[in-house]
Chain A
Amino acid sequence: MKLFDPTEKVHANSRPIWHEALAEIGAANPNVVALTADLSRSVCTENFRKSFPDRYFNVGISEQNMVGMAAGLAMNGKIPYCSSFAPFLTMRAIEQFRTDVCYMGLNVRLVAAYGGIAITGPTHSGLEDAGIIRGIANSTVVCPSDVTMMRKVFHASVDYDGPMYIRMGEGTNDAEIYGEDYEFKIGKAIVARPGKDATIISFGLVLRYAVEAAMRLEKEGVDVGVIDMHTLKPLDKQAILEAAAATGRIVTVEDHSVYNGLGSAVAETLADEGISCKLKRLGIPDVYPSYGLSPQLHKKYGYGTDGVIAAVKGLL
Chain B
Amino acid sequence: MAEKERLRELNKLTYEHRRSILELAHERGKMHLGGDFSCAELMIALFQQVMRIDPQRPDWEDRDRFILSKGHGGGAMYLAMAQRGYFTREEIFATYRTGFETRFGMHPCKAACHELDSSSGSLGHGLPIAAGIALSGKMDHKDFRVFCMLGDGELQEGSNWEAALAAAQFKLGNLVAVVDRNMLSLDGPTEDLMPLEPLAGKFKAFNWNVILVEDGNDMQQVLDAFESLPPAESDVPTAVIAHTVKGKGVSFMENEARFHNNAVTEEQYQIALKEIEEAYQALSGRYEG
C-alpha spacing A68/B127, complex, angstroms: 8
Q: Is A91 an interface residue (CB 8 A)?
A: no
- Cβ–Cβ < 8 Å partners of B137 in chain A: 76
Q: How far is the CB of A92 from chain B (nearest CB, A)?
A: 10
Q: Is A54 an interface residue (CB 8 A)?
A: yes
Q: Is B3 an interface residue (CB 8 A)?
A: no
The verdict on A99 contacting B122 (CB below 8 Å), with A69-B132, A76-B133 known, is: yes
B122-161 residues with Cβ-Cβ distance < 8 A to A are 122, 125, 127-137, 139-140, 158-159
- Cβ–Cβ < 8 Å partners of A78 in chain B: 136, 139
- Cβ–Cβ < 8 Å partners of B258 in chain A: none
B133 touches which one: A72, A99, A104 (CB < 8 A)? A72
Q: Is A13 an interface residue (CB 8 A)?
A: no
The dominant DSSP class at the A interface is helix
B117 touches which one: A65, A75, A100 (CB < 8 A)? A75
Residue pair B131, A104 in contact (C-beta under 8 Å): no
A103 touches which one: B111, B132, B133 (CB < 8 A)? B111
- Encoded as 1 (CB less than 8 Å from any B CB) or 0, chain A from 55 to 68 comes to 10101101011011
A75 touches which one: B121, B132, B140 (CB < 8 A)? B132
- Cβ–Cβ < 8 Å partners of B127 in chain A: 68
Q: Is B278 an interface residue (CB 8 A)?
A: no
Q: Is B52 an interface residue (CB 8 A)?
A: no
Q: Is B119 an interface residue (CB 8 A)?
A: yes
C-alpha spacing A62/B168, complex, angstroms: 14
Residue pair B132, A68 in contact (C-beta under 8 Å): yes
A72 touches which one: B121, B131, B158 (CB < 8 A)? B131
- Cβ–Cβ < 8 Å partners of A71 in chain B: 118, 128-129, 132
The verdict on A69 contacting B118 (CB below 8 Å), with A75-B133, A104-B110 known, is: no
Q: Is B196 an interface residue (CB 8 A)?
A: no
Q: How far is the CB of B175 from chain A (nearest CB, A)?
A: 10
Q: Is B51 an interface residue (CB 8 A)?
A: no
A69 touches which one: B110, B117, B131 (CB < 8 A)? B131
Q: Is A105 an interface residue (CB 8 A)?
A: yes
Q: How far is the CB of B146 from chain A (nearest CB, A)?
A: 8
- Cβ–Cβ < 8 Å partners of B276 in chain A: none
Q: Which residue of A lies closest to B163 (CB)?
A: A65
Q: Which residue of A lies closest to B164 (CB)?
A: A65
* Count of B interface residues, CB-CB < 8 Å: 31
C-alpha spacing A78/B170, complex, angstroms: 17
- Encoded as 1 (CB less than 8 Å from any B CB) or 0, chain A from 301 to 316 comes to 0000000000000000
Q: Is A253 an interface residue (CB 8 A)?
A: no
Q: What range describes how many residues of A lie at the interface?
A: 20 to 34
- Cβ–Cβ < 8 Å partners of A75 in chain B: 117-118, 129, 132-133, 136
C-alpha spacing A72/B139, complex, angstroms: 13
A64 touches which one: B117, B128, B135, B139 (CB < 8 A)? B128
Residue pair A69, B165 in contact (C-beta under 8 Å): no
Q: How far is the CB of B140 from chain A (nearest CB, A)?
A: 7
Q: Is B166 an interface residue (CB 8 A)?
A: yes
Q: Which residue of B lies closest to A98 (CB)?
A: B122
Residue pair B166, A65 in contact (C-beta under 8 Å): yes
Residue pair B136, A104 in contact (C-beta under 8 Å): no
Q: Which residue of A lies closest to B122 (CB)?
A: A99
Residue pair B162, A64 in contact (C-beta under 8 Å): yes
- Cβ–Cβ < 8 Å partners of B122 in chain A: 95, 99
Q: Is A277 an interface residue (CB 8 A)?
A: no
- Cβ–Cβ < 8 Å partners of A70 in chain B: 132
- Cβ–Cβ < 8 Å partners of A67 in chain B: 128
Q: Which residue of B lies closest to A75 (CB)?
A: B133
- Cβ–Cβ < 8 Å partners of B119 in chain A: 99-100, 103-104
Q: How far is the CB of B5 from chain A (nearest CB, A)?
A: 37
- Cβ–Cβ < 8 Å partners of B125 in chain A: 68, 95-96, 99-100
Q: How far is the CB of A81 from chain B (nearest CB, A)?
A: 13
Q: How far is the CB of B156 from chain A (nearest CB, A)?
A: 14
- Cβ–Cβ < 8 Å partners of A64 in chain B: 128, 158-159, 162
Q: Which of B130, B132, B169 has the most CB of A within 10 A?
A: B132
Q: Is A73 an interface residue (CB 8 A)?
A: yes
Residue pair B140, A76 in contact (C-beta under 8 Å): yes
Q: Which residue of A lies closest to B159 (CB)?
A: A64
Q: Which residue of A lies closest to B175 (CB)?
A: A72
- Cβ–Cβ < 8 Å partners of B170 in chain A: 57
- Cβ–Cβ < 8 Å partners of A54 in chain B: 139
C-alpha spacing A119/B137, complex, angstroms: 40
The verdict on A65 contacting B159 (CB below 8 Å), with A59-B166, A96-B125 known, is: yes
Residue pair B166, A104 in contact (C-beta under 8 Å): no
C-alpha spacing A59/B127, complex, angstroms: 14
Chain A interface (Cβ < 8 Å from any Cβ of B): 33, 54-55, 57, 59-60, 62, 64-65, 67-78, 80, 95-96, 99-100, 103-105
> Which 10 interchain pairs have the tightest Cβ spacing?
A72-B132, A68-B128, A65-B162, A69-B132, A62-B162, A76-B136, A72-B133, A72-B129, A64-B159, A73-B132
- Other than A65-B162, A80-B132, give 11 A-B pairs with Cβ distance below 8 A: A55-B139, A57-B170, A59-B162, A65-B165, A69-B132, A69-B166, A73-B136, A75-B129, A78-B139, A95-B125, A100-B118
Q: Mind listing 16 A-B residue pairs with CB under 8 Å?
A: A64-B159, A64-B162, A68-B125, A68-B131, A68-B159, A71-B118, A72-B133, A73-B135, A75-B132, A76-B61, A76-B140, A80-B132, A95-B125, A99-B121, A99-B125, A100-B119
Chain B interface (Cβ < 8 Å from any Cβ of A): 61, 109-111, 117-119, 121-122, 125, 127-137, 139-140, 158-159, 162-163, 165-166, 169-170
